[in-house]
Chains A and B, each alone.
Chain A
């Protein structure tokens, strides 16, 4: 069954996923009618997506379809780009994160982010990197050793670095640095972790290790992952959203359980994309 029909083979990978949680309104993360602009350029139109508790959602689509932009609207990193604007609302546990007067640093503590390129702080040691989020948010650090061990273990890095927590973060390999960034994001106990192509700069071994980490994280938090790698989407996610831009703003073509997207997509464009006919 493998090889001849790419839809079937990806579906086979995806069917390994467990039965995912359903979305309950008022809990988890929810995007309602999100639009995004860069200056006059309308980058994203009317995105409605729900992210139920304890699930992994993959966002796939060709380059320039707005999936990274959408991800950055979910923790208000979008507004750092000069000229960036948005419309719609993003609800975390029922509250709009764009509500006037909301404290953006508190929002980013609850909705963490891992970037495409590993970016540990080079002036800090491995241990300091893990705790840096707490320091940056001016939170009290109690039982430091426990946090270190817990977060590094959850990120799948503990065994490799436990004897050299005092070494510089930059001394690790690329894959280890990315897992360090995941540990750093976990140390502030986020409810949501956004990952923007976290494995695109890594070798297959490290990628596999991070995918295991993502699966384990889904036991306790919401993960949203942007990926170009459809195999990866099939392997790690419960739900998959397919974004596409037909020259205009990016739109959400279809969202369903990962199994459905890769086996019985409803939209022709989704099927063309996941079978590798374009993109």
Chain B
């Protein structure tokens, strides 16, 4: 009689090592992509190291006050004016302008993406997509000039309206009657600049919504709007958030456009309609030309801080995207 019973005697064998010999072409390709991946990492680290080395003396001298201080003064040894570097106001300004930009850009970009994916007639889809993508290719100095000469007169009027009717909100209070070159206006300019980024990514995720879910919604008697609200938006939310964070990163690093439309002012200011603000990148560009050796190191240190803040925002947003994307996929 044969037996099919296992003769297992309880001795646990050592797990075998499973290997494979990759083909030569595979090795070459592996090397190419690996070096590509590491190159960006190395460049990023080298920039961080350069900024740290250059900025370290100032960071050491100023200590924590470099981040929390509100004064930027290269000092005057002959007249006994002490050197004082602090970018607190610039950090506040960076966040204010970026957040205003995001608040303005997000609804417009998501609306544009939904229109392009679900509403636009075929003949307009392509030209409109190209136009929106082209917005990203316009140099930021053009946005800055346009913002200064064309947008600002209008934006000042809108700012006055906001102040008149919503002035009881702390953000819309005015310490003095100067509406030009405010964080509000800079935020609008930056918002327009990041619309194409958020639109492109949102459009991509919206077009990947599984067809069977869309059909399921329609077959249940959904209107286009209810279908979008309960199928497309839950599916696309994490992608939209990712696009928004990419836009936020761009907004935080924006330099020339903000330099043109924002009044750099070294005092903490949360009144977004008031002509005082700044951002770290535009601080660097405004001081760079006439900076002495030590001030230059101060600007490098400011760059390092901006670099770190941007990284932190990216990590934070990744965490948020991960938390929100668990459902809907």
Contacts and interface: CB of A to CB of B under 8 A. Distances in A.
A186 to B, nearest CB: 11
A137 B215 contact: no
Residue among A77, A115, A119, A124 with most chain B CB within 10 A: A119
A228 interface: no
B221 A106 contact: yes
Contacts of B212: 115, 117, 119
A123 B328 contact: yes
Interface string A110-132: 00110101011111100000001
A67 interface: no
A135 interface: yes
Contacts of B227: 136
A240 B29 CA distance: 58
Contact of A112 (B220, B328, B329): B220
Interface in A174-216: 181, 184-185, 188
B216 A119 contact: yes
B235 A133 contact: no
Given A121-B213, A121-B231, A137 B328 contact: no
A184 B218 contact: no
B328 A136 contact: no
Contacts of A122: 327-329
B39 interface: no
A123 B220 contact: no
A105 B221 contact: yes
Contacts of B235: 123
B222 interface: yes
Contacts of A120: 216
> Which of under 10, 10 to 19, 20 to 34, or 35 or more describes the interface residues of A?
20 to 34
Interface residues of B, number: 21
Residue among B220, B227, B235 with most chain A CB within 10 A: B220
A70 B213 CA distance: 21
B74 interface: no
Residue among B215, B216, B221, B230 with most chain A CB within 10 A: B221
A108 interface: yes
A217 interface: no
Contacts of A136: 217, 220-223, 226-227, 230
A202 B327 CA distance: 25
Contacts of B216: 115, 119-121, 181
B249 interface: no
A113 B234 CA distance: 22
Interface in B12-54: none
B123 to A, nearest CB: 13
Contact of A135 (B213, B218, B226): B226
A233 B227 CA distance: 33
Contacts of A106: 221
B81 interface: no
A183 to B, nearest CB: 12
Given A119-B213, A123-B235, A135 B230 contact: yes
B219 interface: yes
25 contacts: A75-B219, A77-B218, A77-B219, A80-B218, A106-B221, A108-B219, A108-B220, A108-B221, A112-B220, A115-B215, A115-B219, A121-B231, A121-B234, A122-B328, A123-B230, A123-B234, A124-B230, A133-B221, A135-B230, A136-B222, A136-B227, A138-B226, A181-B216, A188-B220, A188-B221
Interface of B: 210, 212-213, 215-223, 226-227, 230-231, 234-235, 327-329
Given A121-B230, A136-B226, 13 more contacts: A75-B219, A80-B218, A105-B222, A106-B221, A108-B218, A121-B213, A121-B217, A123-B327, A132-B230, A136-B230, A137-B221, A168-B327, A184-B220
